[in-house]
Amino acid sequence: MSDFDSALRPESRIVHPPVEEVTGSRPLGVPLHQSHLFAFEDNDAMTTAFGGPDQAFFYNRFGNPTVRSLEKAVAGLEGGAGAIATASGMGAINSVLLALLSSGDHVIAQRSLYGGTFAVLADLARRWGVEVTHVRGDDPAEVRAALRPNTRLLHLETISNPTTRVTDLPGLIGVAKEAGVLSVVDNTFATPLLCRPIEHGADIVVHSATKYLGGHSDVLAGLAVFADAELHRTVWHYAVELGASADPHSAWLTLRGLQTLALRVRRHCETALELAGRLAAHPAVTAVHYPGLPAHPDHELARRLLPQGHGGVLAFDLAGGREAARTFTESVRLASLAPSLGGVHTLVLHPASTSHRQLDDAELAAAGIGPGTVRVAVGIEHPEDLWADLDQALGKL
Ligand code: PLP
């Protein structure tokens, strides 16, 4: 202990415990820096720290070592120049949209977006004078026709929820690029192990890390990854003002989950394909939506865009409509009736009465969601146990 420390009274010493530094070895687990504040020896160094996303740490809203580890890990996986970790997927999406859009700008967005994203765009249109045109996601010509001189952003999702339509990323992004329009892709359903939108020309990739990246239903987090360092800096400044930054403990949990992502995603994909095939042969099921099945309308595109696997989400339609869906979702025993996806547990959901309840019958039909559509977010349990569970629940109809 230094002379300075040993002269302190207990009330002062207790506020300044020694902080042990690791020397001579290195931790294998990523350290959790649960400190929101960092002190300096030198005032000039602190001034420099305010400058951008790659400077020294001083206050968590601007950056934290654990959070930065997550940002670098996911930027690396997506092939981006930098990333921002946020408190939720919506934190990432809002940071990107609010940082880049101004009143009078025009956005082209897929119609089948995650409900939260759809609502933000509707709000931007209603209250902030941002114009929004919705497109299907399978036709570059539709995007070309929607372009205007004030079009600023194209917003897409790799795989749509819940009917698992696969978006023609290269085709649609190509049209945006020619027109100088930025492309944002929500890659939550695919993960960077199945698809890397930046390789198809995307400028920004967003994630709800709450789903596959975290993977254990114990953390809410988001990420925005940027192909270009300047775009990263622009959105980082806004995210800091917005207060969307990730908490270090959430970043730590997400990093811990991320280490097993490859194993989990492989298992999710294999089991989903197996269950989709068995569901398609069941007499109570009229249709199965899974891009790995040859009958899926985007099967050929999925084989090119997602060659490693087609994701862990599938949906199917029950002949008995809404009542059959209720009976089924309340009869599963290994699977749970719950929203969300991407965790180790298998989840079932009736979109028409929950995630998509704001749509009227015509809008549901346009989105390919029937009264008897059930979504399954496949977990990593044994496929035979899962099939036994789905089969017994189908047997209750
Ligand atoms: N994007 C997609 C595709 C989602 O499914 C979700 C949530 O379900 C979000 C974004 C929002 O993420 P979060 O709930 O982490 O804010």
Residues in the ligand 1 pocket, defined by CB under 6 Å? 88-90, 114, 116, 157, 161, 186, 188, 208, 210, 220, 222, 340
- Ligand 1, residues 86, 121, 210, 247: which to mutate, most atoms within 8 A of Cβ? 210
pLDDT for residue 358: 86
Give distance in angstroms: CA of 144 to centre of ligand 1: 28
Is-contact 316 374, C-beta < 8 A? yes
What are the structural domains, with CATH classification, of the chain?
A: 3-258 (3.40.640.10), 261-394 (3.90.1150.10)
The kind and range of the H/E element at 69 are helix 65-78
Q: What is the pLDDT of residues 314-323, one digit of tens each?
A: 999 999 999 9
Q: How far apart are CA 155 and CA 302, in angstroms?
A: 19
Q: Would strands 347-349 and 373-377 be described as parallel, antiparallel, or unpaired?
A: antiparallel
Read off φ and ψ for residue 48, nearest 5 degrees.
-65, -35
Q: Whose CA is nearest to atom 11 of ligand 1?
A: 89
Helix (H, G, I), strand (E, B) or coil at 131: strand
* Residues recognised as catalytic: 61, 114, 186, 211
Strand 151-157, strand 182-186: pairing? parallel
Q: From ligand 1's centre to the CA of 10, what distance in Å?
A: 48
Beta bridge partner(s), residue 154: 108, 183
pLDDT of residue 235: 97
CA distance 268 to 292: 12
CA 377 to ligand 1 center in whole angstroms:
14
SS3 content of the chain, % helix, strand, coil (to 5): 40, 15, 45
Give the pLDDT score at 1.
76
Q: Quote the strand ranges of 209-272, DSSP E.
A: 222-226
Q: What is the pLDDT of residue 94?
A: 98
Spatial CA neighbour of 307 closest among 157, 153, 193? 193
**What is the residue whose two structure tokens read 């704001």?**
358
The answer to whether the peptide bond before residue 162 is cis (omega within 30 degrees of 0) is yes
Give the tens place of pLDDT for each residue, 321-340.
999 999 999 999 999 999 99
* The two structure tokens encoding residue 342: 């991407």
Average pLDDT over residues 80-99: 98
Q: Is the pTM of this model over 0.85?
A: yes
- DSSP letter for 335, please: S
